[in-house]
Structures are given as C-alpha cells and as structure tokens.
C-alpha cells in the first residue's frame, strides 16, 4: 500500500513536459497558429483562449497560470489587448523566463504600422480605448508575415540549435502567404470601396488592406453597447448610403446587428476573427480563405 502511494505521488510530480523542444504559450489562437508554423517539430504551442472568445474580456483562470508556469516563450498581442488579464497571470505563473522584459516574453508587433492611435485627450470618455493603437493587427495577413518573422527570430534566439529550421519555416510561411495575399487581393479587387458597418474595430486592418470602407461601427465607442440614438443614426446611414453589409465578429452580441437588418434589410455577415473561431478555420491562412469566401458569397 505504501509503495502504491509512492507511485501515485511520483506520477503526480513527474512533469508532463515530456516534449523536449520549446514550450510556447500564446494568448490568442491566431498567434498560436503562426507560432505552430514557425516552430514546426521543435515547438509545442498552446493558446490560452479559444478562437470563439473575445480577447478583451477574459477571466484569468488559475489553469492559465499553470500553463504559463511551464512556458519557455510567451507571446501576447500587446497594445493593451490583454491588459485586463495577463499581468496577474504572469505574476501567478512564477516563471522567471516569461516575465515582461525577460527573454521569453514577446509582443510581436514590431515593424507593423499601427492604426488608430488616439490623439488629443486620451481618456475613457472615448470608451475602452487602446492608448497605443488598434491591437487587431493580425486581421491584415501582411502583418501576419511580419509577426511570423518576429516569432521565428525570437525562437531562434531562445533555441539557436534549431535557428535554421525556424528561419526555413518562416520562409515557407512567407512564400505561401504572399502567394495567397495576391489571390485574396485579386478576388476582392472588384469589391474595393465596399461600404460596410462593423460591430467593433476588429476589421480596421482588414479594411485598410482591401480598401473596404467602414462607414461606422455599432459600438460607436469601443467596449460600450450602442445607445438607442446611435442605432437610429446607423439605420439612417445604412439607408442613405445603401450599405449592403454589416460585418459582425462572431463573439459579439448579434441583437444590434439583427435590429439593423430588420429595419433596413442590410445583410449581416457573422464572421470568425480568430483561428478556430469556427470549426473549419484551423490555420491563419484558412481564416482569410473563410472571410474572403464569405464576403464574395454575400455580394
């Protein structure tokens, strides 16, 4: 009986880290998808949240701290997207490597042109704003290539023995993505100037990439549900400008969009904005395949 107890205790305490490569943890699934392609067989990648969750409003579950405790590299979007839940998890993780400023922490937006950096008086009268700019930069696949390069470089820095492999993975990824970016641009070129209303600012980078015109947003202030007055304004705008589409991120409340559809006849396109946001989207390129196909199909 005593031996049995010892075996049980040993089993509990034997680390589950049988994998010998880099243990990578990301906040979002799109970062995880890119990191998986960069790491290849040398990295095991986990995302803390699901693709169907709004990354602004995550509760820091204790299990996240346990996952971070075993990480060699932690990748977060940054730009205050995860400010409400990541800092306390980093403290709780007790992992020296991935603390902010240490070797295993990265916010991979270096080299990206950040949009919608607020100017003038920056306070919360403007809603739940991000003072450093819009953090949804991965909605432009060209930024995904930059992020992939930054992640691959960081992996090479942490695991120089496989540096060539990470570089090669990046080159394959960049080549594939650049080819697909050309295809998506070609397919959507005839929709340039398409007028849309979106729920949140998630589609700003996407719109900037393809020349889609976001005339207004259902959340006229980020993070705050629309007022009745703003809904009236939106109805007028959609009718006046003959807006054909409302783009709705699939983790947001569908009721305001449905109301707009009921009042104006505008089509509501509910879209995933993260990898695994719907079951069929399992890669970063797959996310754009899905979105582009849906937009083309809606026209």
User: Binding to another protein by residue 286, rule CB under 8 A?
Assistant: no
Minimum Å gap between C-beta 224 and another protein is 6
- Which helix or strand (DSSP H or E) is residue 122 part of? none
**248-280 in b/e burial notation, b at 16+ Cβ within 10 A?**
bbbbbeeebbeebbeebebebbbbbbbbbbbee
Which residue spans within the chain are E strands per DSSP?
A: 22-26, 43-47, 73-75, 105-106, 195-198, 213-217, 245-249, 267-271
Minimum Å gap between C-beta 145 and another protein is 15
User: Binding to another protein by residue 84, rule CB under 8 A?
Assistant: yes
The piece of 45-53, 178-186, 197-205, 280-288 that touches another protein (CB under 8 A) is: 45-53
Minimum Å gap between C-beta 286 and another protein is 21
CA separation for the pair 119, 112 (Å, rounded): 19
Helix axes 163-188, 141-158, angle to 10 degrees: 180
User: Binding to another protein by residue 57, rule CB under 8 A?
Assistant: yes
Cα dihedral sign for 287, 289, 291, 294? negative
Q: Choose between 133 and 141: whose C-beta lies nearer to another protein.
A: 133
The piece of 131-139, 208-216, 233-241, 263-271 that touches another protein (CB under 8 A) is: 131-139
Q: Residues 113, 124, 192, 267: which binds another protein (CB under 8 A)?
A: 124
- Which helix or strand (DSSP H or E) is residue 135 part of? none
- List contacts with another protein (CB under 8 A): 12-13, 15-16, 50, 52-54, 57, 59-63, 65-66, 69, 78, 83-85, 87-88, 90-94, 96, 99-103, 105-110, 114, 117, 124, 127-128, 131-133, 150, 153-154, 157, 223-225, 251, 253
């Amino acid at each position: 009986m005593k031996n049995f107890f010892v075996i049980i205790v040993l089993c509990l305490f034997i680390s589950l880290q049988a994998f010998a490569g880099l243990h990578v943890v990301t906040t979002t699934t799109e970062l995880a998808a890119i990191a998986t392609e960069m790491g290849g067989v040398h990295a095991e990648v986990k995302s803390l949240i699901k693709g169907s969750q709004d990354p602004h409003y995550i509760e820091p579950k204790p299990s996240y701290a346990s996952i971070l405790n075993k990480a060699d590299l932690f990748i977060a979007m940054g730009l205050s997207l995860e400010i409400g839940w990541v800092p306390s998890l980093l403290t709780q993780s007790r992992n020296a490597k991935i603390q902010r400023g240490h070797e295993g922490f990265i916010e991979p937006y270096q080299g990206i042109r950040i949009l919608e950096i607020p100017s003038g008086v920056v306070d919360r009268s403007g809603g739940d704003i991000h003072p450093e700019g819009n953090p949804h930069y991965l909605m432009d696949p060209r930024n995904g290539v930059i992020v992939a390069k930054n992640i691959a470089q960081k992996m090479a820095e942490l695991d120089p023995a496989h540096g060539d492999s990470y570089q090669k993975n990046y080159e394959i990824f960049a080549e594939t993505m650049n080819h697909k970016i050309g295809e998506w641009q070609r397919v959507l070129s005839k929709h340039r100037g398409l007028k849309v209303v979106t729920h949140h600012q998630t589609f700003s980078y996407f719109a900037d990439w393809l020349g889609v015109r976001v005339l207004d947003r259902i959340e006229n202030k980020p993070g705050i549900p629309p007022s009745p007055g703003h809904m009236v304004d939106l109805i007028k705008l959609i009718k006046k400008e003959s807006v054909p589409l409302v783009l709705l991120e699939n983790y947001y409340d569908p009721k305001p969009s449905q109301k707009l559809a009921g009042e104006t006849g505008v089509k509501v396109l509910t879209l995933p904005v993260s990898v695994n946001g719907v079951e069929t989207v399992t890669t970063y390129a797959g996310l754009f395949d899905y979105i582009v196909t849906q937009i083309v199909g809606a026209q």
